[in-house]
Structure 1
Amino acid sequence: MTQRRWGALDAARGLAVVAMIVFHSIWDLSYFGYAPATLPWSAPMRLFGHSIAFAFLFVAGVALTLAHRDCIRWRAFWRRFAIVAGAAALVTIGTYVVFPSAYVFFGILHCIAAASLLALPFLRAPWPLALVAAVFFLAGPELFASPAFNSNWLQWLGLSTSEPMTQDWRPLFPWTGALLLGVAVGRAILSHGEKAGAGGEGVLPQAPRLVATSAERGWLFFLGRHSLIIYLAHQPLLFALFTALVALAPPPIDTADFVASCEARCVEAGGKRKICYDGCLCTALEAVRSKALEGVTDEKERGRRLDEIAQRCVDRYSKP
């Protein structure tokens, strides 16, 4: 039974994997300077990212229910939990190395692990109870958000009034609701099958074959069956590819975008807007003129060189 799975779930998860790779490719284009820096934070991109996360959590909820359709198989459950939690820990460690000020401390994998624990009471319960729990978590941020949850130790709950600086943010509220919604749908499917079977009108949804059809050996099903490995591996591979691309064809400096973000940070730090604008514009133009960033692929070194140019520009424009 551990190898049996519904092909539809594999296909759905495979589509989510494709969407995830597309999303992160766009994010990397922005990060490495080939697209506007504000693109990943635009409304369409944020909606795209949220829909991908919702799909993964929803499918995880359906799959969890079907995996324990007859009884909770504790050994399989804890094995899966350990794998997902371990993968989440790897994401935290990896992102801390690359983004120490914005590392992932409660992303999609952390949420799947925690939400799976919260879903345990509903795996054998009537589906309306899982649906009510899903609505509770989905509506939670609107009902219970408070500054009292703004502490770093409580933000993972998702009830804070400010969003932390992190590369992936899927707190318990509202995202557990997506997994519980999948549990509710899975339980409803099983309940319908049981009633149909009892009435002589049908049987439970047929258990998937151990031997996949030729269609189920396609690339989409392959992605769905290996989604966790692909999730962990795809960003390091994309980063390596873009790093090589930067070395071969350095991206042009987007002067307008750089100046806007630089000015905003300067003003937020207490600088005068006119001095901030002049200094940031000077930094961008001087970086282009001197070709200071050409061939520099290391982000820390790029930042150091920009800081040096910025300091000279600020000194120039801050003089009376």
Structure 2
Amino acid sequence: MPFQTVARPQRLDRLDAFRGIAMVWMTLYHFSFDLNHFGYIHQNFYDDPRWTLQRTAIVSLFLLAAGMGQAVAVRQGQTWPRFWRRWAQVAGCALLVSLGSWWMFHERFIYFGVLHGMAVMLLMTRWLLLRGWMRKGRGIVWGAALIVLAFLLPQALAHSAPLWLTDLLNSRWLNWLGLITHKPLTEDYVPLLPWLGIMWWGASFAQWLLARHPAALAGTSGADGLAKLGRWSLSYYMLHQPILVGLFISLAALRHIA
């Protein structure tokens, strides 16, 4: 079935609300992280499953929504100039995240976090969608293959690959691929493997919904606040942490004065 071209893309409230849920959860997570960073609580955000599993779930929601959004955009006939404008916003914000995190975390700065990964994954996902390679659920199969590969291949490399190759794959030059044998020193890390598979799941699932149950995404969400938040997800993502950190710094200054 040919893609339908529309003059102005239609917002899908339920998809926006789904993205909004991820934003709310992310805010609560980052608020807890900041409480820990400024010494109000004492938690291990890097190894404790209570926190690491939450991070995995939040990133998964973001990438599922991004994949679904790309499927909708292609279905609605989004032009390349419009795509590139949005992509440039994501890539530009990724650069700002790197700069801001370098100021805050120094050697643990974010060089390939969720926005960096998303910028690369969006290009690959759109290219496959336009060529029809994700129809009939193929994105689900490919996504699962990438996730399995992300777990099995690094183990094989660790046992059989020469040291120079594993060192290269673990370096910042190539660890964005995800073929690592140890976690890099960074505050946020979202490599292509396995996360590209999650975005492909979202794109394939949205294609199935649009073909079989279009009202599932287009209907009223019943959560207008979440839907509005989801429509401004990138702006909110970029602003929420500076605001939270600014509040904590201001609170610390007031306590010092008192």
Report the alpha carbon displacement of residue 206 of structure 1 after superposing the two structures with TM: 8.7
Task: Please say if 1:187 is aligned against 2:207.
Answer: yes
- Counterpart code for 2:92: G
**Alpha-carbon distance between aligned partners in 2 of 1:119 and 1:51, rounded to the nearest angstrom:** 21
Give the structure 2 partner of residue 51 of structure 1.
57
Give the structure 1 partner of residue 150 of structure 2.
141
Give the structure 1 partner of residue 188 of structure 2.
168
- Counterpart code for 2:242: P
Give the structure 2 partner of residue 309 of structure 1.
none
- Counterpart code for 1:164: P
**Alpha-carbon distance between aligned partners in 2 of 1:12 and 1:70, rounded to the nearest angstrom:** 19
2:32 counterpart SS class: helix
Distance change (3 Å), C-alpha of 1:127 and 1:112: farther
Report the alpha carbon displacement of residue 182 of structure 1 after superposing the two structures with TM: 0.4
**Alpha-carbon distance between aligned partners in 1 of 2:9 and 2:76, rounded to the nearest angstrom:** 16
Give the structure 1 partner of residue 241 of structure 2.
235
Give the structure 2 partner of residue 68 of structure 1.
74
TM-score normalised by length of structure 2: 0.84
Give the structure 2 partner of residue 116 of structure 1.
122
**Alpha-carbon distance between aligned partners in 1 of 2:13 and 2:172, rounded to the nearest angstrom:** 41
Structure with the greater relative contact order (CA < 8 A, sep ≥ 6): 1 or 2?
2
Unaligned stretches of 5+ in structure 2?
1-5, 158-165
TM-score normalised by length of structure 1: 0.69
Report the alpha carbon displacement of residue 131 of structure 1 after superposing the two structures with TM: 1.6
**Alpha-carbon distance between aligned partners in 2 of 1:189 and 1:45, rounded to the nearest angstrom:** 32
Task: Please say if 1:27 is aligned against 2:47.
Answer: no
1:274-313 pair list within 5 angstroms? 295=256
Give the structure 2 partner of residue 316 of structure 1.
none
**Alpha-carbon distance between aligned partners in 2 of 1:4 and 1:182, rounded to the nearest angstrom:** 18
Answer yes or no: is the 8 Å Cα contact 2:65–2:202 preserved in 1. yes
How many pairs does the alignment contain?
237
1:221-260 pair list within 5 angstroms? 221-249=227-255
Give the structure 2 partner of residue 96 of structure 1.
102
Answer yes or no: is the 8 Å Cα contact 2:110–2:189 preserved in 1. yes
**Alpha-carbon distance between aligned partners in 2 of 1:176 and 1:39, rounded to the nearest angstrom:** 24
Task: Please say if 1:7 is aligned against 2:13.
Answer: yes
Judge which range, 52-61 or 77-86, deviates more: 77-86
Larger Rg: 1
2:186 counterpart SS class: coil
**Alpha-carbon distance between aligned partners in 2 of 1:178 and 1:45, rounded to the nearest angstrom:** 20
Report the alpha carbon displacement of residue 52 of structure 1 after superposing the two structures with TM: 0.5
Answer yes or no: is the 8 Å Cα contact 2:17–2:221 preserved in 1. no
**Alpha-carbon distance between aligned partners in 2 of 1:176 and 1:25, rounded to the nearest angstrom:** 27
**Alpha-carbon distance between aligned partners in 1 of 2:239 and 2:77, rounded to the nearest angstrom:** 33
Report the alpha carbon displacement of residue 208 of structure 1 after superposing the two structures with TM: 4.7
